[in-house]
Structure formats: structure tokens, C-alpha cells
Amino acid sequence: MHVKRLELDGVFTMSPRRFGDDRGYFSETFRQDIFSQNVGDFHFVQDNQSLSAERGTVRGLHFQLAPRAQGKLVRCLTGAIFDVAVDLRSGSPTFGQHVSVELSADNGQQLWIPPGFAHGFCTLTENTIVAYKVTDYYSPEHDRGLLWSDPQIGIGWPLEGVSARLSEKDARQPLLAELGEVFRHEGPTT
């Protein structure tokens, strides 16, 4: 498994090796020992999966407040997504900045988003299935969001030729400037 640190502290991509032949391929998609050595000692408690039928479906930007903050390890099982992590840690040198990667069934890449970040994605194909592991259970009382199109964050969503398909909840999330302090930067996460 190849692990790569991205520009925002604590965010990584993980690229499992694939062993293929004329039948297809085999891949170890997660190993706790490699994850702990490279990313940190996180414990996953829940797996989630979503299907988005149409290209241009935007889900996010989501996060949970402490003490139920979630880290997420995201991968795309079918199709492709433009996956985004936004630093929400007040006092962080990268507060309000984002990183994005393309995750697809073809590239097998995964994105680790630690607690303290908002997460969202946009589907690049029809019938896209996304799966992700989380480090805490879903908690409606701690569930929060950030407006996907906040100009202060400036995410270049790949929506050429389509309109974003959003839930009502995601369409009315607050701007970064309206959030206040939701997380505090405690220094390096790695």
C-alpha cells in the first residue's frame, strides 16, 4: 500500500496494490498495521455506503462536532468522484483551505480525512457507489455542515455541463464565516 501525505496536515491518500491477471485483480483495501504506522492510531467503528444515480451529485460538506468528531477513510467502489477535505481547525495554518482528489473504481485510491475537517464529494459518473469507514458513530446532535459552494473556500467543483444535485439540507448549510470555532488546531496530527 502506498501512502502519500497531502498539503493539509493529517490528510493522506492511500493506494492499495492490485495483483491482476486475465480474471481481474485482488487488492488488500485496508490494513490496520499500515494505517497506524503511516496515519495514526485510529479505530473504525462504522462503515457507510452511498449510491448516487446521477453525475453531478454533490454530498457535503459534512462533519460532526466533538466529542463525536469523525475521521473518514473514503473510497469509490463504482464510478468516480471528486473528493474534498476542508480544514476547519481554528488556529491551523491551513484553516479554510481544501484539498481534492479523484477517487475511482479504476484507480482504487482512498482518501483519509481526519477529525477537524469537513468532507464532501461530487460524482463524476452515473451510478457511483462510495464507501467509507468512520471513527465514530453517526450522531444527529453533532451532525453539522458547511455550504458546498462557499466562495471563501473556492472549491472548483467539476460540474461542466450539469447542475449540482443537492439535498435540501446541503443546499442551506452555513458559510465558513458563519460557523464560528468548531474545532481547535492542537498542532501536527501526524
Active-site residue numbers?
62, 132
Q: Are 106 and 18 a contacting pair, CB within 8 Å?
A: no
Q: Are 50 and 122 a contacting pair, CB within 8 Å?
A: no
> Which helix H or strand E contains 60, and what residues bound it?
strand 58-64
Look up residue 29 and give its amino acid: T
3-state secondary structure 86-115: EECEECCCCCCCEEEEEEECCCCCEEEECC
In angstroms and rounded to an integer, the radius of gyration of the C-alpha atoms of the chain is: 16
CA 135 to chain centre: 13
Q: How far apart are CA 175 and CA 94, in angstroms?
A: 17
DSSP-derived secondary structure for 29-57: ---HHHHHHHT------EEEEEEE-STTB
